[in-house]
Structure 1
């Protein structure tokens, strides 16, 4: 076999996604005029290759192969405009030259990937860089070769040439190489270099490469029998020595015998420059797809055109960049290239020039250039005639009718649910989330609005979502049917009551009327059987939110309201005993449940003492005054009652005084403070404006024994660290000045129980029945003529 001249196929070894290789491939094909073009890729794509000539096919795109029965098992073969394979395919289609893929079929590679997971590719379908993933390994013969495993062949060649940066070496010897009279010289040179590497490193430690190369040799031989020696092969340069080697057909077939196989489907899908980047985890990734695209597409003066792009980007971000900046940046880039001995200014020189001239030495605006231009957010397009599952076709139809075009660049979308189109967009995005297709994620509105008629979404289309669509196709042929079937299945298989209530909320948001009865039946059954108050408290907020959103969308939620009301009553009854005897972690978790239920009850209809809110306030009162309840819960309940105006004047101070009395352990008292003024609940402002409460906290804190202070300090720091700096400064100033006359009188002259100088008669009387029982005097009256005061004296 020949690398470029003489008998045998024309072997064009390339770097995948290299614009210099792409230009060289086009020149070599023009010079040789082959009768057939063979490209490294899965043969199942032969039936789809004609679509590459369609006007609506816009790279970057990718061939997607997935297992028919398991769409999640998939692989991509990405192609950009500057990919040598794409250039070869388009060259052949424009001239009616047969073009075929010759790599190991996807039916085998996907089966092997499942069988050999640790050595599986990173989703690139074995379309690697120079060496298919850039890995050159040893054969395990000795320690030196073990150290050579996973060495980038470009790095080896660059190091041999005295470069410490493989990308810079590649730019100097390939990307910036001027046109020469010999179109085949670069392929011969690269093939010789790869031959030396293969002699040194063998197969790189990856046995699968041997299998792939055996299949490629068989396909090349078959093409030669059909088309003669006028066959051009475009493949990774790493494979050229193996394709050139003289091997027996029987030996190649023996390597392929018994390979596992699965049934696969294949199609074209859009791809992005960002997913071509090495940082995305793509095995054959490159560092600068946007820059490479610019080099390939610029007809002349690439540095000047690049600087103009950068200036336009900065101006769009309201940064002052003039024509003089562009001129000086070009001059500096060219000067740097000359000083560094490079044939042309590369990405390094242009970046240094942009930093110095346009960014004033700062890397902050330079990061914008890297993100938007060096990498880029270009999203390709595929024609409607490309094969697709029915669900994908329905999704494409909905995207067009709702004017929601997939975009690689992340953007925010604000929806007004009172408008029909926006409501339909919301339904689509919620249905896709139910199906596990995360095109859109709910986000907090920049306006800070809390109205239920508005929604904010963050949209970002990733190529992998095409796989998620294929996976979701098992649920139905349309988005509505698939989301309905998925919701019903999820309801049946839900593990907890909270999962079912969350699903009911999502069904209402997605407007799935056929799925809602099934979900509601499962919800009613689970709620009736679940006796865990924590589970009920977790489930209630989602139900109430569903009722609220249902009103906006005009959905009939009467059945949901009945379940929510019943659930609320069960929470009211079961919460007080569930809050007794909890450790610190369980108490913190229960406090979160109390907050969630409080917010939910606030949205439920039914005010007044007999309504939901009245019943809830009674429960909070019981919890706030029960000593067996954890301090963090008692403090939080007292704060919720205070915020709702349900505490009489001075009652909050009385409860705090009881909690901070000398008879309460420091850790429990600190937990009460955390519940009352902690958790970012505005407790700092409360202490600023209520000097009586501040004096109580200050007096308790100064009286904590030294040996106990270190135990309560972490909790107190957590409580007060969430306050705004201004609030903390104000509190510190108030403590430094000491309590005012009004605050001092409140804290001393009218101190609540636990801080007064005398005995709290009410609390003392509360223990008398127990004392009578213990002393055997519980005969319905004073024992032996003694009254209660005598009993207290004895005690």
Structure 2
């Protein structure tokens, strides 16, 4: 804490109980004219909303959207946030309250998802030196050691020294400089207006040294509130928050992990917090049927007390208790470091008991807004529409898409789905690459997470259709053809007709520039299905969809003809692209004017090109066979492709495109059986993986038919040929062993 004439600066760590107490005590002692708090200045005229009597944690959420970017950010507050105690203590003391930072939508905060993320994280070198000096693992343990469990005497001086060291002589970046200049003008104006009465300034400790310096000189008029660009949509609302979202172990870089522990520390002090922490872990593990005995708890507490004494703590700190619990409850070696020894999200492989310990420390508290809190129009619109359609509450819902009522209910649920509103699980229904479906099944769950999600989604629009359209439009920019096809299907499911035109324009451009044949094929499959079976979504025989199909067919054939890689293995993506081209030519050639003759010419060239990948050569041969209804000397083509290294890959392409033609052409199965039987054991083993992939294109019924027909050449039951008790890998290994034995016998002259 630093005092200049009439201004007292308190640098804090956000969500720190020690800092929160210091702020509350300072405000109560000074009874200042103004309490200035780091927070979005555009909320100043709505500070009364913050003081309605909410159950914390809550947050100020700001959504911003213009033609260039969309940004969402949060300023969370809990009972032990210094910013919250500054507001409540200042209000109780009769002070004027002001947020003094730039609005959350401002370009200076464009990269900030959370206003109260620790700035000193950018100065890790200093904190790392301090960690080494005090023999602690990270900045969280360092903070507890220096401030949270130490007596309050001298806290302000220790904090000032710490943040001065962290800030150092480094020049701030342009964004921080802009924020600090703006906050300093608020300080100067408040001091000038206070008439000699105190002014208390509460900001992140990183900013305090600069504000002390900047407050000494400069303009002393109230700063103007920045205005967003004219085409921007900006909205700020209070949202319920949760301890889980506050927790650094869940990805929030607040600098204070385990908010449940710090809440108890705020309420009861370090000794009671340590005891409650041990109890919370024990109860959570026991609730999950993990044995935690009284002896285990005694051992954990004894270890924590011993570690605290060794580390110079008056009471066990958070890491002391956690280390004690880990020592008592985890008996085996750990694959990853203890999470409180590092920072950030829990790592994969963390011991299950450790995961539960972290969850117990996090706490399950969720905030609740006062009933009088203003909410954005989207929240009211969604609540009304869900109620109107009988979709509020928790239920299993079956929707008949053949009826208009069912389609209306489905469109509403899909609009909420694309807005990522929780509690809506679609179990079945129409799928982009699946057959037409007239029934949807949903599981609806009423959840407390829905309100904050709707408030945050309100930046997209005032009703579900407008918001869903804006959310889908936002995703277009970075989407590849796969993503654009999915967006098109989502737009149709949502009934967002005005969006579809923009998606189709972007999809047409993406198709014309596509470089990946597999991705393009998946897009063509989706668009063709919507063109053929789009009665539900009013996309059937769409002219614009037809233009996308025509462009995709031309591009796919161009990419296929340019593909090279004679030894490349079969790729289901590019084979699927050729299937999509075939289907488009079969079902849409006449209505869309597709050039089937040109497509057949390209297929013939690919099939004859030895440099092309074998799966594409086989697929192209199959494309010509299936479209013409006949093939010129297919037996010769099959014999020419039948080499161990590529036979299976070539057949995979052929079977995918002309499975029925192969099955019903006289002598073709017998030819394949002859060629397979003529292969050496080694050659068969080489070809086996690709052959299995190739014959996988036949459904079980047709595989049974193949087996039955081959009985004419062999003995036994067709059903027996379809059933193999041994795993294919075991059969292949046995054949390899047989071949090695034969080779050894030949080498020794025992067989010819």
TM-score after normalising by structure 1: 0.62
Tell me how far 1:43 sits from its aligned partner. 1.8
Question: Is 2:185 aligned against 1:218?
Answer: yes
Partner of 2:339: none
- Distance, in Å, in 1 between the alignment partners of 2:226 and 2:556 is 62
Does residue 296 (structure 1) correspond to residue 269 (structure 2)? The answer is no
Q: Distance in 2 between matches of 1:268 and 1:13?
A: 25
- Secondary structure of residue in 2 paired with 1:319: coil
2:359 is matched with which residue?
A: 372
Counterparts of 1:369 and 1:298 in 2: how far apart (Å)? 23
SS where residue 188 of structure 1 aligns? helix
SS in 2 for 1:296: helix
User: Residues 352 and 195 (structure 1 numbering): CA distance in 2 closer, same or farther, change over 3 Å?
Assistant: closer
1:186 to 155, 159, 180: 155
Aligned partners of 2:103 and 2:226 also within 8 Å: no
Equivalence map 1:170-319=2 (5 Å): 170-178=143-151, 185-195=154-164, 201-206=168-173, 208-224=175-191, 225-226=193-194, 228-245=196-213, 248-250=216-218, 265-278=235-248, 284-298=254-268, 301-319=272-290
> SS where residue 678 of structure 1 aligns?
helix
**How far apart are the structure 1 equivalents of 2:661 and 2:355?**
48
| Pairwise CA distance, 1:542 | 2.5
How far apart are 1:310 and its partner, in Å?
Answer: 1.6
The change in CA–CA distance for 1:646 and 1:100 in structure 2 (over 3 A counts) is same
User: Is the CA contact (8 Å cut-off) linking 1:418 and 1:453 kept in structure 2?
Assistant: yes
Alpha-carbon separation, structure 2, partners of 1:189 and 1:457: 52
Structure 1 682/675 Cα, relative in aligned 2: closer, same or farther at 3 Å?
same
Structure 1 CA distance for aligned equivalents of residues 138 and 92 of structure 2: 37
2:651 to 634, 649, 652: 634
C-alpha distance 678-15 of structure 1, shift in aligned 2 (>3 A): same
- For residues 228-258 of structure 1, what are the alpha-carbon distances to aligned partners after superposition, in whole Å with 9 as ceiling and x for unaligned? 423322222344444444865337899x999
Q: Identify the match of residue 304 of structure 2 among 320, 333, 337.
A: 333
- Structure 1: give runs of 5+ residues left out of the alignment: 115-120, 137-149, 407-411, 605-614, 697-722, 739-795
- Say if 2:528 and 2:584, in contact at 8 Å, map to a contact too: yes
118, 123, 129: which one aligns with 2:113: 123
The question of whether the paired residues in 1 share the 8 Å contact of 2:239 and 2:452 is answered with: no
- 1:480 correspondence with 2:465: yes
**1:76 alignment partner, SS class:** strand
Deviation at 1:400, TM superposition (A): 7.8
Q: Residues 550-597 of structure 1: CA distance to partner in whole angstroms, max 9, x if unpaired?
A: 89xxx4779369999999999999999998896446973431235668
User: 2: distance between equivalents of 1:392 and 1:356?
Assistant: 48
Alpha carbons of structure 1 residues 301 and 7: separation in structure 2 relative to 1, 3 Å: same
Cα–Cα, structure 1 residues 342 and 134, in superposed 2: closer, same or farther, change >3 Å? same
Task: Describe the shift of the 1:93–1:246 C-alpha distance in structure 2 as closer, same or farther (beyond 3 A).
Answer: closer
Q: Which is further off, 54-63 or 392-401?
A: 392-401
Where structure 2 has 5 or more consecutive residues not aligned to the other structure, the ranges are 335-349, 429-433, 589-622, 714-723, 740-752
Compared CA separation, residues 338 and 547, structure 1 to 2 (3 A): farther
Correspondence for 2:318: 347
Give the 3 Å change call, closer, same or farther, for CA 110–391 of structure 1 in structure 2. Answer: same
1:514-663 equivalent positions in 2, closer than 5 A: 538=522, 541-542=525-526, 555=536, 559=540, 583-584=564-565, 588=571, 589-593=573-577, 618=626, 626=637, 632-638=649-655, 646-647=663-664, 651-655=668-672, 657-658=674-675
User: Contact (CA 8 Å) 1:277, 1:375: kept in 2 or not?
Assistant: yes
Task: Report the CA distance between 1:287 and its aligned residue.
Answer: 3.7
Query: Post-superposition shift, 1:46?
Result: 0.9
Aligned equivalents of 2:411, 2:130: Cα separation in 1: 54
Q: Which residue of 2 aligns with 1:765?
A: none
Q: What is the CA deviation profile of residues 304-363 of structure 1, one whole-angstrom value per residue up to 9, with x for unaligned ones?
A: 222222223223333233455444433332233224332222222222222233333465
1:677 to 684, 692, 701: 692
Return closer, same or farther for 1:490/1:241 CA change in 2, 3 Å cut-off: closer
Please report the TM-score for the alignment, with normalisation by the length of structure 2: 0.65
Do the aligned partners of residues 454 and 466 (structure 1) sit closer, same or farther apart at CA in structure 2, a change above 3 Å counting? closer
Report the counterpart of residue 35 of structure 2 in structure 1.
37
Q: Is the 8 A contact 1:642 1:652 kept in 2?
A: no
Aligned to 1:608: none
SS of equivalent residue, structure 1 residue 635: helix
Instruction: Find the counterpart in structure 1 of residue 103 from structure 2.
Output: 106
User: How many pairs does the alignment contain?
Assistant: 644
| Counterparts of 2:387 and 2:307, CA distance in 1 | 49
Which stretch has the larger CA shift, 161-170 or 616-625?
A: 616-625
- Mapped to 2, the partners of 1:286 and 1:654 lie a distance apart of 72
What is the distance in 1 between the residues matched to 2:679 and 2:189?
94
Superposed displacement of residue 63, structure 1: 4.4
SS of residue paired to 2:106: helix
Contact 2:484/2:507 (<8 A) preserved: no
Greater C-alpha Rg: 1
Partner of 1:787: none
Change (3 A) 1:19 1:547: farther
The alpha carbon displacement at 1:39 in A equals: 1.0
Alignment partners' CA distance in 1, 2:481 and 2:11:
59
* DSSP-derived class of the 1:28 partner: helix
Partner in structure 2 of residue 748 of structure 1:
none
Secondary structure in structure 2 of the residue aligned to 1:309: helix
**CA displacement at 1:72 relative to structure 2:** 1.2
Q: Residue 41 of structure 1 aligns to a residue in which SS?
A: strand
Q: Distance in 2 between matches of 1:321 and 1:487?
A: 49
Give the direction of change, closer, same or farther, for the CA distance of 1:335–1:581 in structure 2 (3 Å limit): closer
Equivalent position of 1:756 in the other structure = none
Cα distance in 2 for residues equivalent to 1:456 and 1:737: 55
- CA distance in 2 between counterparts of 1:404 and 1:231 reads 52
- 1:727/1:399 CA distance change after superposition, 3 Å: farther
In structure 1, the residue matched to 2:82 is 84
The answer to whether residue 332 in structure 2 is matched with residue 356 in structure 1 is no
- Contact residue 247 and residue 259 of structure 2 kept, 8 A: yes
Corresponding residue number in structure 2 for 1:51: 49
Contact 1:72 1:467 in 2 (8 A): no
Question: Is contact 2:578-2:657 (8 Å) kept?
Answer: no
User: What is the CA–CA distance in structure 1 between the aligned matches of 2:177 and 2:505, rounded to whole Å?
Assistant: 55
Distance of 1:237 and 1:488 partners within structure 2 = 40
Shift of 1:290: 4.0
